[in-house]
A and B are shown apart, each in its own frame.
Chain A
Amino acid sequence: QVQLVQSGAEVKKPGASVKVSCKASGYTFTNIVMHWVRQAPGQRLEWMGWINAGNGNTKYSQKFQGRVTNTRDTSASTAYMELSSLRSEDTAVYYCASLYWRVWGQGTTVTVSS
């Protein structure tokens, strides 16, 4: 069936980077856009950016521009989101979502703490 499986929880120190993966199965990976969304504790869902899995084009939220990089490996049907210069406010659950916002990964908890 169609699903997105994300990598496991991460604990990082301030100033570090984190890279979260999202493996797609059950559909043609290169036909779609993969979104990345985060949810900080007690906050609403927040869009970070997307990648066109076919041509690799990206679009980022202005809030994260310069700190976030979306990439993909078409041979592995996997998308990646890398966030750099981490600070405590980046502690959140990070989700990938695809197929016109129909399918979501299970979420990856990223904790930033010294």
Chain B
Amino acid sequence: DIQMTQSPSSLSASVGDRVTITCQASQDISNYLNWYQQKPGKAPKLLIYDASNLETGVPSRFSGSGSGTDFTFTISSLQPEDIATYYCLQFDYVPPTFGQGTRLEIK
């Protein structure tokens, strides 16, 4: 199975800060990677698909980059409503696998 190593596991930042989360795949997954936001008691919500494409309706402060094994997710200016846990998902190989999540808190 492809291992997805996501870091950090938790992060505390101030409103307006730039926040970066990374995911590293154990093998080349091209750009078959999505980023999700999950709030407590809710289903994951797609933010970024195919590593760098912003899903329709998602604010432009969210962005993604990378290909191969190294991927980055960025919030350019953190807002209070961004408090959530973020996950990456690789779907190049079966089984699809998720990162362990990054819990984002407001400082």
Contact = CB atoms under 8 A, between A and B. Distances in A.
Nearest to A100: B49
A50 to B, nearest CB: 9
A102 B49 contact: yes
Q: Is the interface of B mostly helix, strand, loop or mixed?
A: loop
23 contacts: A35-B96, A44-B99, A44-B101, A45-B87, A46-B98, A47-B95, A47-B97, A47-B98, A59-B94, A61-B95, A62-B95, A95-B43, A101-B34, A101-B46, A101-B49, A101-B89, A102-B46, A102-B49, A104-B43, A104-B44, A104-B45, A106-B42, A106-B43
Given A101-B46, A102-B49, A102-B55, 17 more contacts: A35-B96, A44-B98, A44-B99, A45-B87, A47-B95, A47-B96, A47-B97, A47-B98, A59-B94, A61-B95, A62-B95, A95-B44, A97-B44, A101-B34, A101-B49, A104-B43, A106-B43
A7 B73 CA distance: 33
Q: How large is the interface on B (under 10, 10 to 19, 20 to 34, 35 or more residues)?
A: 10 to 19
Contacts of A104: 43-45
B43 A105 contact: yes
Candidate in A45, A102, A104 with the most chain B CB atoms within 10 angstroms: A45
Interface string B91-105: 100111111110000
Interface string A28-69: 000000010000000011110000000000010110000000
A99 to B, nearest CB: 9
A44 B44 contact: no
Nearest to A101: B34
A107 B97 CA distance: 18
Nearest to B55: A102
A62 B94 CA distance: 10
Contacts of A95: 43-44
A44 B3 CA distance: 12
Contacts of A97: 44
The 4 closest A-B pairs by CB, nearest first: A104-B43, A45-B98, A47-B96, A44-B100
